[in-house]
């Protein structure tokens, strides 16, 4: 049946065309604002962020925040900033009206806000009131302006007496109830609000922030003179003890901040803070930089704690990428990335032989709990002292500054034993070597990791120093040693090969065949020598540092690693991942008995190995118990 046959007889052809064709019409202001609100104000935390950023831009020194029901029913922000006149308030609720682009230059933005969308968007989906008493000028009292679902009321006097501004948002999304269904629980929304304010508090330590939910004070940060003091406020002193200063400058770009020791990490990335020209951002480039810098130290699923500030010419960064202003785009992407990775890696290398300060405290707490359990009830005074110490916050700096200078009389011994690792069948040292080491035992307590005294559970080396005891995880330590050796060989132009007496033939599928072709050059640089014949590959050599008896299993691990990688091993970072994995596979295992001489050889290698404070997965290689810590266990301190 033709379309003409369906045309009602009383309509002309032109009328039917209009009926079938959509009509383009201008949207009304309220609907425009509600659409904008979907981009800018997707949850209570986003609305709160806009209000607090406005307060900071208004030169506030004290900001008081109150929310209820996770911000769904109430968000109130009071500041002591410059304030607004009646005319300012009328203009502020209009779309694209702002005081923050005086020259109209989008590439010279010096404030947090600039788009002029937040207040009209909020007013279209909530009950918004603005009360302000500007500093200076002729206005004699505070004035209030209300916007409810996009409808603006008359300005009226208010009893608000303080100089500054108070913004109140009630019943967020009441005019768009469908959006309410997409919000999370009150607890989750509260957590998002707290996170937003903590980021702004870090960026502006000179501003005091008080945050309350219902009647409970979540935090109350006083204005601080230094960034370090604000770090302690937001991150806590325990976390601050495990952070190290990172700073670098290049080509007009500077980066400064703090990053955590590799042995101090978390299961979530919530304690990662990035700022560009004091603007809190969540940028993929910065997250990628962090992953690359910690690649040698942390396993997948663990996250460092960082607070990094990038500062550069505003013309070199575009902050107008997204309405939420949480993303940025750098003009010189590679320059920023290179500076950040270099700064982070150099910081980690400088502190690579330190372990997190909380580890000693946690170890002591476990000792004390055991002592409490065994304490005789007839000794109340001793038990009371134990309980008092158990309730104290323990945090001992255990970082040992290792040095590269080695005891001259031990050098021949170390040289003789270095080549034995990572052989699974560690040969015993000669009697002369052992006696030579024993003769030095009394002197060796000056070594950073001391002298081996015993092996616990065939896994942990107990050594004595001039100031206490050190417990070393033999597998974690040797894993770092092997990885650093293998990485150094690769970076210096290629790893040493071990020729196979009998070439190894391995069956592969089409995907593995293609991946091996793509990565053939870099795998050969690593120390693999192979030839492809259809769905078979013949290996003639493997890296010498990856010695294993089960060669075929090693090759299958290699193929699996390549297949699981989202890119290919042509990526330098992906190759280092592979080296790290196989360093773990080929290191001394937990449960392997070692002689005293072998334990001492391992300790000496740790002392001269970069980044040896932690294994490739971020676990500590050793924990220190200083003499004062031990004395505290026995009530002598």
Question: Can you give the three-state secondary structure of 331-380, one letter per residue?
Answer: CCHHHHHHHHHHHHHHHHHHCCCCCCCHHHHHHHHHHHHHHHHHCCCCCH
Structure confidence at residue 17 as a pLDDT band (50, 70, 90): low
Check residue 115 and give its pLDDT: 57
Residues 6 or more apart whose CB falls under 8 angstroms from that of 34 comprise: 121, 124, 125, 150, 175, 176
> Is residue 513 predicted with pLDDT exceeding 60?
yes
pLDDT of amino acid 59 = 93
* More confidently predicted of 408 and 145: 145
pLDDT at 477: 87
pLDDT tops 60 at residue 378: no
Binned at pLDDT 50, 70 and 90, residue 427 comes out as: very low
**In the structure, what pLDDT confidence band is assigned to residue 358 with cuts at 50, 70 and 90?**
low
Of the listed ranges 204-213, 356-365, 461-470, the least confidently predicted one is 356-365
Peptide bond into 422 cis (omega under 30): yes
Say what the pLDDT of residue 493 is: 65
**Does the pLDDT of residue 633 top 80, yes or no?**
no
Residue among 411, 412, 255 at smallest CA distance from 343: 255
What pLDDT, on a 0 to 100 scale, did the predictor assign at position 518?
Answer: 78
At residue 411, does pLDDT exceed 80? no
CA distance 488 to 622: 23
The whole-number average pLDDT for the span 115-120 is 74
**Using an 8 Å Cβ cutoff, are 516 and 508 in contact?**
yes
- DSSP character string of 368-413: HHHHHHH--TT-HHHHHHHHHHHHSPP---------S---GGGHHH
pLDDT of residue 433 exceeding 60, the answer is no
Q: Output the pLDDT for position 78.
A: 97
Q: Which tokens in the block code for residue 395?
A: 């945090």
Average pLDDT, the chain: 76
Residue 566 pLDDT greater than 70, yes or no: no
Per-residue model confidence (pLDDT) at position 140: 86
pLDDT reported for residue 395:
29
What are the Cα distances from residue 81, in Å, to 56, 57, 58, 192, 632? 8, 8, 5, 25, 51
Q: What percent of the chain has pLDDT over 90?
A: 25
Confidence of residue 23 (pLDDT cuts 50, 70, 90): low
pLDDT for 196 equals: 94
Q: 3-state SS string over 5-51?
A: HHCCCCCCHHHHHHHHCCCCCCCCHHHHHHHHHHHHCCCHHHHHHHH
What integer pLDDT is reported at residue 134 of this predicted model? 93
Q: What pLDDT is recorded for position 164?
A: 94
Greater confidence (378 vs 74) lies with 74
| Residue 438 scores a pLDDT above 60 | no
Mean pLDDT over residues 583-590, rounded? 79
Q: What is the pLDDT of residue 375?
A: 36
- Model confidence over 130-180: pLDDT tens digits? 999 999 878 889 999 999 988 889 999 998 888 999 999 999 988 878 778
Percent of the chain with pLDDT over 70: 69
pLDDT at residue 435 greater than cutoff 80: no
Of 7-16, 478-487, 574-583, highest mean pLDDT: 478-487
Helix (H) or strand (E) holding 77: strand 74-79
Query: At residue 455, what are phi and psi to the nearest 5 degrees?
Result: -120, 130
> Which of 42-51, 60-69, 265-274, 486-495 tops mean pLDDT?
60-69
pLDDT at 88: 87
pLDDT(278) > 80: yes
Q: At what angle do helices 596-607 and 474-491 cross, to 10 degrees?
A: 50
pLDDT in tens, 595-614: 888 899 889 888 888 888 87
Q: What phi, psi does 512 have (nearest 5°)?
A: -65, -35
pLDDT surpassing 90 at residue 221: yes
pLDDT over 80 at 592, yes or no: yes
Q: Please give the average per-residue pLDDT across 30-37, as a whole number.
A: 56
Structural domains of the chain, ranges and CATH numbers in brackets: 29-221 (3.30.565.10), 236-350 (3.30.230.10), 393-637 (3.30.1540.20)
Average pLDDT over residues 34-62: 83
Cα dihedral value 615, 619, 622, 624, nearest 10:
150
Q: Would the pLDDT of 6 be above 80?
A: no
Per DSSP, what are the bridge partners of residue 158? Answer: 142
Asked if residue 537 has pLDDT above 80, the reply is yes
pLDDT of residue 565: 52
pLDDT tens-digit map of 183-203: 999 999 999 999 999 999 999
What DSSP state is assigned to residue 99? S
User: How much is the average pLDDT of 581-594?
Assistant: 80
Q: Which pLDDT band holds residue 431 (cuts at 50, 70, 90)?
A: very low
Mean per-residue pLDDT, 505-519: 81
Q: What is the band of 125 on the pLDDT scale with cuts at 50, 70, 90?
A: confident
290-325 residue pLDDT tens: 988 888 788 777 889 999 999 999 889 887 776 666
Query: 16-20, 257-261, 601-605, 624-628: which range is least confident on average?
Result: 16-20
């Amino acid at each position: 049946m033709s379309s003409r046959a369906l045309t009602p007889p009383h309509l002309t052809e032109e009328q039917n065309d209009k009926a079938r064709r959509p009509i383009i019409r201008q949207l009304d202001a309220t609907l425009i604002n509600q659409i904008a609100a979907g981009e800018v104000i997707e949850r209570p935390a986003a609305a709160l962020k806009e209000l607090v950023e406005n307060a900071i831009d208004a030169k506030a020194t004290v900001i008081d925040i109150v929310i209820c029901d996770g911000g769904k029913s109430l968000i109130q922000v009071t500041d002591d900033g410059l304030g607004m006149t009646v005319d300012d308030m009328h203009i502020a609720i209009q779309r694209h009206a702002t005081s923050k682009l005086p020259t109209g230059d989008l590439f010279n933005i010096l404030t947090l806000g600039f788009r002029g969308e937040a207040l009209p968007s909020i007013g279209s989906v909530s009950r918004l009131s603005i009360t302000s008493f500007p500093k200076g000028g002729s206005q004699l009292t505070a004035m209030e302006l209300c916007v409810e679902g996009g409808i603006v009321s008359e300005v009226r006097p208010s009893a608000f007496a303080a100089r500054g501004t108070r913004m109140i948002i009630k019943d967020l999304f009441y005019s768009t109830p469908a959006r309410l269904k997409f919000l999370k629980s009150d607890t989750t929304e509260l957590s998002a609000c707290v996170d937003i304010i903590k980021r702004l508090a870090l960026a502006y330590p000179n501003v005091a922030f008080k945050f309350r939910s219902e009647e409970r004070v979540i935090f109350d940060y006083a204005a601080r003179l230094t960034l370090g003091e604000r770090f302690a406020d937001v991150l806590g002193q325990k976390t601050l003890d495990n952070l190290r200063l990172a700073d670098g400058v290049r080509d007009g770009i500077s980066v400064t901040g703090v990053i955590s020791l590799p042995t101090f990490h978390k299961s979530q990335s919530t304690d990662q803070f990035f700022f560009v020209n004091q603007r809190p951002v969540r940028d993929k480039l910065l997250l990628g930089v962090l992953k690359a810098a910690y690649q040698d130290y942390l396993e997948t699923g663990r996250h460092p704690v960082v607070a990094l500030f990038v500062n550069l010419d505003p013309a070199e960064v575009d902050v107008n990428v997204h309405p939420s202003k949480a993303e940025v785009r750098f003009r010189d992407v590679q320059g920023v990335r290179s500076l950040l990775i270099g700064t982070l890696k150099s910081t980690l290398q400088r502190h690579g032989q330190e372990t997190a300060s909380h580890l000693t405290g946690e170890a002591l707490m476990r000792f004390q709990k055991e002592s409490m359990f065994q304490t005789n009830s007839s000794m109340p005074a001793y038990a009371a002292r134990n309980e008092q110490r158990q309730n104290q916050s323990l945090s001992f700096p255990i970082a040992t500054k290792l040095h590269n200078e080695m005891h001259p009389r031990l050098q021949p011994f170390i040289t003789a034993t270095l080549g034995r690792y990572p052989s699974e069948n560690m040969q015993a040292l000669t009697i002369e070597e052992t006696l030579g080491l024993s003769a030095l035992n009394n002197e060796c307590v000056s070594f950073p990791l001391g002298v081996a005294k015993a092996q616990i559970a065939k896994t942990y080396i107990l050594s004595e120093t001039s100031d206490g005891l050190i417990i070393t995880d033999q597998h974690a330590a040797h894993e770092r040693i092997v990885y650093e050796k293998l990485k150094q060989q690769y970076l210096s132009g290629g790893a040493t090969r071990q020729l196979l007496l009998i070439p190894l033939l391995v069956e592969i599928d089409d995907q593995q065949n293609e991946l091996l072709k793509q990565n053939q050059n870099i795998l050969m640089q690593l120390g693999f020598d192979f030839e492809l014949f259809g769905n078979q590959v013949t290996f003639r050599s493997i890296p010498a540092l990856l010695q294993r008896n089960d060669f075929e299993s090693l090759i299958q691990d290699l193929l699996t690693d390549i297949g699981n990688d989202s890119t290919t091993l042509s990526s330098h970072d992906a190759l280092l991942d592979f080296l790290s994995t196989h360093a773990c596979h080929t290191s001394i295992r937990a449960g392997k008995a070692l002689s005293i001489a072998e334990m001492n050889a391992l300790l000496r290698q740790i002392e001269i190995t970069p980044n040896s404070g932690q294994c490739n997965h971020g676990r500590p290689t050793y924990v220190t118990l200083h003499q004062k810590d031990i004395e505290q266990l026995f009530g002598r301190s």
